[in-house]
Amino acid sequence: MSRLEIDIEGMTCEGCARHVHDALEGVGAREVSVDWPAGRASVGAGTTDPDRLAEALADSRYRVSAVRDPRGGANGAAADDAYEYDLAIVGSGGGAFAAAIAARRRDLRVVMVEQGTVGGTCVNVGCIPSKALLAAAETRHRAGGRFPGITTEAGPVDMGALIAAKDGIVGDLRQDKYVDLAGEYGFEILEATARFVEGPALEVDDRRIEATHYLVATGADPLVPDIPGLADSGFLTSTSAMELDALPESMLVIGGGYVAMEQAQLFSHLGTKVTVLVRSQLARGEEPEVAEVIGDAFAAEGIAVHENTTPDEVRRDGDEVVVTAGGQRFRAQHLLVATGRRPRTQGLGLQDVGVELGRWGNVLVDADMSTSHPRVWAAGDVTGHPQFVYVAAKHGGLVVDNAFEGAGRRIDYRALPRITFTNPTIASAGLTEAGAEAQGIECTCRTLPLEHVPRAIVSRSTRGVVKVVAQRDSQRILGVHIVGDGAGDVILAGVLAIETAMTVEQLAATWNPYLTLGEGLYLAAQAFHRDPSKLSCCAA
């Protein structure tokens, strides 16, 4: 069923949403959905006269500012036999496969074009290989021991065997979760280069492919900064670093984001001497308390971090790479550049068919993932949106709903979780304190050191904090930020607290399983009204 979207002013809470919901149903609307933080509602098209929707709220504190049909003609077109395919996808990563599977479940005709390796970034050169290597490196690192009475020792690393094992996992998952799935769902994967041409259509080698809708899901490539001498230095990216067949004795890492931090600690835990050069600050996008913890952890492990350091020149000196920055010289056997990723749109011909690109070559999309061309959509890293595979997958399914059903679904990042797999792990969701203030939201925060969390105490792993950001007046939770062992497994509770508009009082009143890191989130909520140091470790 297609839907009508309604922009509504004046909603401030869940109670408002219920009033609006009941009022819309009162004038005959069905399939009513209300999103009060976004100031929107949607109803099933055809269930009531659109003019009556505005009248439903005429005598209330709320006002309808617009009623829209998101299908907008071509955007809501159903399967069209005039074309060879219903959906043609360029790319084969998480967003591409999510869209292909969603389309095949509707019995739509799908073709996918991939010029490289099937599976995209996550399974081939991103999440899967990096986490496989991080887990191995963590095992070696923990061999140092932190418990009295237990002594272990880490031996040398067989880098070739480690990389081969990683490659085995990647190959198995690529086959099981991508290549084989295409066969099960019944869509083609063409190993070729695609380019948009007038029509719009795709020129795939010598073949012209026409479809009702097109999806660009080509991902992103490592961003290489413009530093004199860098191109001739033989530098590594996160992709090539995970293919090394010998463990480096030393490594310089340029970057301070999640890829740089994970890779720096990965090689440090394997036994490489690592130095990190950061243009601004390590973990700059995180809460200051979180960044301080991870900085201390790096220092304790012997990882040298130089913040506010911008490389001026890179040169090769025999078997070493030398980086000059602010009058200082840093040298190491290898240089790893991890300064972000750039959307992969070069050579696609998008602008030739009227698709607008942003400053970094990203495909410009609205919140419904539509582009400036009504039949071309985009998903995942190529849009410049948060570069996580679960974001790409969400995009892909949403595109199919919007393109073929006119669902009018939109992306909402308010509670988006983001995890950096360092030790300790960084996990965040929602607004930071600075982010809330930038939006003009008066907030109040509590930060709980893990020394107050029994799970961390018994595990002898108290390096970390839990920080909760709440709206001052309503006490509604806006953000949750954790750094500590197991933080990635706890953050889902923070996501749900934000999505359900839970208050700190409600979170502090929920069940909390004792001797888990999750109790830290409960205690942080308690800290808004009580002193955690004065609580019993086994009682509320």
Instruction: Name the residues annotated as catalytic.
Output: 11, 13, 16, 62, 122, 127, 537-538
CB 323 within 8 A of CB 275: no
Cα-flanking dihedrals φ and ψ of residue 250, to 5°? Answer: -145, 155
Q: What is the dihedral of CA 50, 51, 53, 59, to 10 degrees?
A: 180
- Which tokens belong to 162? 């480690």
Strands 376-378 and 211-216: parallel
The sign one gets for the Cα dihedral 27, 33, 34, 40 is negative
CB 104 within 8 A of CB 187: yes
- Which tokens belong to 381? 């890293």
List Cβ<8 Å contacts ≥24 apart for 144-150: 146/460, 146/461, 147/460
Instruction: Provide the 3-class DSSP secondary structure of residue 289.
Output: helix
C-alpha 200 chain-centroid distance:
30
- Which tokens belong to 182? 């295409």
Strands 477-484 and 425-430: antiparallel
- Give the Cα-Cα-Cα angle 293, 298, 302 (nearest 5 degrees): 145
Q: Which residues of 487-501 are buried (b: 16+ CB within 10 A; e: fewer)?
A: bbebbebbbebbeeb
DSSP 101-157: HHHHTTT--EEEEESS-TTHHHHHHSHHHHHHHHHHHHHHHHTT--STT--------
- Which tokens belong to 419? 């995890």
DSSP 415-448: T-EEEE-SSSEEEEEE--HHHHHHTT--EEEEEE
- Residue linked to tokens 């081939």: 124
- Residue linked to tokens 């308690």: 526
Strands 40-44 and 33-35: antiparallel
